[in-house]
Structure 1
Amino acid sequence: MSFPSLEVNRERWNRMLLLSYWALFLISILLECMFLFVTEVSTKDFISLYIVKPTIIMASIVLLAEIGVRFLPKLQDYVLISSGTLLASTAIAIHSSLEYLLFFLFFPIMISIFYFQYKKLLYAILNTAIAIAFLFTNIESMHQGMSTVGLLSMICILTAYSCIAFGTIARGREVLMHLRTSYESNQELLVRNIVMDKLAKTDALTDTYNHMAYHEFKDNLVEQADNGRISLHLAILDIDNFKLINDTYGHKAGDVVLRKVASIARSKTGSNDIVARYGGEEFVLLFAEKSFQEVYDIVEEIRTSIAATKHEALKSLTVTVSIGLNPYFPGMGKEAFFQGADAALYEAKHSGKNRTVIAASAQVE
């Protein structure tokens, strides 16, 4: 099973691992220099065998690893595992008399655990097995100094350590799978909640907000307007002679007209504005962060656009709307805010229709 999340920050971790190789290289040089003062080997021979030679070999290995990481991005994990094997093998070969250094052979296995991938762990185990075979075949002191029992013990320890590494990776992948499943479940639940919330606040016919959502938005916006944080305007839009449309052309034609009127209103308003179906053929529009003139121009554009739109469901006839507009003044209250716009709509209806009338309170102001 693929785990794309395992690739997160992979290059950064590989870079840190490579930096640790450089650190190990420098520490090994420092340690060799310290042993120079306590060794029984002649200074010349010690510098040649234990400082110059390993320094050249290990520096070459780390430099090759650096090149591999830079120019082989798809193989850099394997490059680092191989480099770790070579560094450990070099240290063991140089100091073959120090049996405890054999545990350095576990180094590539430790590195492979970083990647939480079985194939890379198997590659590290293969590297380690090859290194053991090479060292015991080609380093005479190791071949002579370790008995068959010792070698078998080393292989058993390597096997046990490999099993632990497999278990660690299996546990890590299990936790990762659980986290991914939990994340996907939470995401699915979040999306479902968002969809349900949208459905609860949306009018199914016109795809505008519904009556309930309008009141939620209005209460919040009025509170902000009372605190002087925003400017607020309310327009109530009513389709003229809508009952006649339903009686003459049928309710399906009336639904088509409602959807078209709502679409025009939504297309003319901004992202901070609210368009809601208040009921029947009536829509309410809340405008935030706009001047009175900007709002008036928008509702007039909506009205004229609707009046110019022909409807196939009405045999290419047009419909008109009447609009009542009321700006909010701090302290007005939400009831007076709506009643002012509703009174302006009533006047628009009874003074000829197809017009926008401004609330009396706004005209006084």
Structure 2
Amino acid sequence: MSSPMENHQKRWNRRLLHTFWVVWVVSIVIECLYMLFVTAVPPDEFVGPYLLRPTALLLLVVLLADAGIRMLPKHHDYLLITASALFTLIVTAVHSTLDYLLFFLFFPVMVSILYFRYSILVYAISTAAFDLYTLYFINPNIHSRISTIEIVTMTVILGVYSGIAFFVLARGRELLQNLISSYESNQALQLRNMEMFKLAKTDYLTETYNHMAYHELVDKLVEEAEKGRLLLHLAVFDIDNFKSINDTYGHRAGDQVLRKVAEVARSKVGSHDFVARYGGEEFVILFTDLDFLAAYDTMEQIRRSIASTPHESLSGRSVTVSAGINRYVNGMGKEKFFQGADAALYDAKHSGKNRTSVSA
């Protein structure tokens, strides 16, 4: 899968190719206008060398560049710089009598800045210099009209262009680095905020939601249940005889029992259900996508699983839990919702423990 940076680069490559196509079309229009209104060369002598031949060559360069970045995507930058150098070389060679077009040879240097790489810029400067001296020594029109001092002057101008390009590139890379640093700092801050949010909502010992998070969740869920958007059930359970566990085995063993009980409960509920430590050895579960029988069966699975789980801290003994479960009905409100489940838990405790009772 392509990275975002690669996708951005592909878009810029396509834009650059579109620019080549536009220049190709504009060059045809300009040549036609030049033939009709400017040059004294007869049309039959002008069309071949000044219109058809350069147009075909420019078309070939664009097509090769397009095919090259498809087949050789890793070398797209050098291919497009080469294409821009050939583009300017062809246009300048065709109209060698127009001295100002020699400055068009610096076009690859401008294109190279898009890639934010010094190696690409150096390659572009090299191709621009190669084009300039190739035309000067091979094209007789240019060689006869451009003096040595003028070619030296153009070389100096190329150097100035290149220096400006280096400064622009350096400044761009500096801004990019600052942007990356700012982005990374922002990401780190977001991660810290997420960690702080998680710590604020999570019980450290059991890794379930804490008491405060439960109240925030139940407020929202009750509101949704009142609108008929979900089925809502609440189970309240706690560990039987937990005080004797702490007294006999110590608080460290008690903490390990709490952790294991919470782990079992989390493993049994669905992805849309919420387990929270209400306080001490008491836990609550909010079931949001189950009907009453399914919620009751899930609570029973949790109870039986806890009863069959040995604890090393208790010398291999298991613990039991008692639970009460309540179904939310319209107009009940969160207080009565909890009181009903808590009353059912009280009933389970006084009916022999290690059982799940249903709210009246």
Question: What is the TM-score when the length of structure 2 is the normalising length?
Answer: 0.93
Residue equivalent to 2:245: 245
Offset of residue 293 of structure 1: 1.0
Instruction: Give the Å deviation of 1:6.
Output: 5.3
Change (3 A) 1:114 1:254: same
Per the alignment, in what secondary structure is the counterpart of residue 36 of structure 1?
helix
CA deviation after TM superposition for structure 1 residue 141, in Å: 1.7
Residue 30 in structure 1 maps to residue 29 in structure 2? yes
Partner residue of 2:120?
120
Matches within 5 A, 1:208-223: 208-223=208-223
Residue 5 of structure 1: CA displacement?
6.6
Question: Partners of 1:207 and 1:328 in 2: how far apart?
Answer: 26
Q: Bigger shift: 229-238 or 142-151?
A: 142-151
> Aligned runs of 1:55-94 on 2, under 5 Å?
55-94=55-94
Q: What do residues 301-348 of structure 1 show as CA deviations (whole Å, max 9, x unaligned)?
A: 111111122223222222211111111112112221111111111111
1:275 and 1:286 in contact (8 A); partners too:
yes
Equivalence for 2:352: 352
Q: Is the 8 A contact 1:6 1:115 kept in 2?
A: no
Whole-angstrom CA distance in 2 between matches of 1:116 and 1:184: 20
Cα shift readout 1:138-160 (whole Å, capped 9, x = no counterpart):
11221221233322332232222
Q: Could you say which residue in structure 2 is the equivalent of 1:363?
A: none
Q: Which runs of 5+ in 2 are unaligned?
A: none
Of residues 8-17 and 94-103 in structure 1, the stretch that sits farther from structure 2 once superposed is 8-17
Output the aligned Cα RMSD: 1.8
Deviation at 1:249, TM superposition (A): 2.2
SS at match of 1:310: coil
Q: Which runs of 4+ in 1 moved over 3 A?
A: 4-8
Q: In the alignment, which residue of structure 2 is the partner of 1:137?
A: 137
CA deviations 1:125-146 (Å, max 9, x no partner) are 1111111111111112212212
Deviation at 1:239, TM superposition (A): 1.0
Alignment of 1:251-270 (within 5 A): 251-270=251-270
Q: Percent same amino acid among aligned pairs?
A: 56
2:177 aligns to what SS in structure 1?
Answer: helix
Closer/same/farther in 2, CA of residues 21 and 252 from structure 1, 3 Å limit: same
TM-aligned CA deviation for residue 91 of structure 1: 1.6
The aligned amino acid for 2:33 is M
Shift of residue 56 of structure 1? Answer: 3.6
- The one-letter amino acid paired with 2:123 is Y
Matched residues, number: 357
The answer for unaligned runs of 5 or more in structure 1 is 361-365
TM-score by length of 1: 0.92
Cα separation, 2, equivalents of 1:6 and 1:315? 57
Asked if 2 retains the 8 angstrom alpha-carbon contact of 1:6 and 1:116, the reply is no
Q: Secondary structure at the match of 1:319?
A: coil
Q: Distance in 2 between matches of 1:276 and 1:237?
A: 11
> Which residue pairs with 1:99 in the alignment?
99
**Equivalent in the alignment of 1:227:** 227
Identify the range of structure 1 (62-71 vs 317-326) with the bigger mean alpha-carbon deviation: 62-71
Displacement of 1:48: 2.8
**Residue identity matched to 1:55:** T
* CA pair 8-116 structure 1, distance change in 2 beyond 3 A: farther
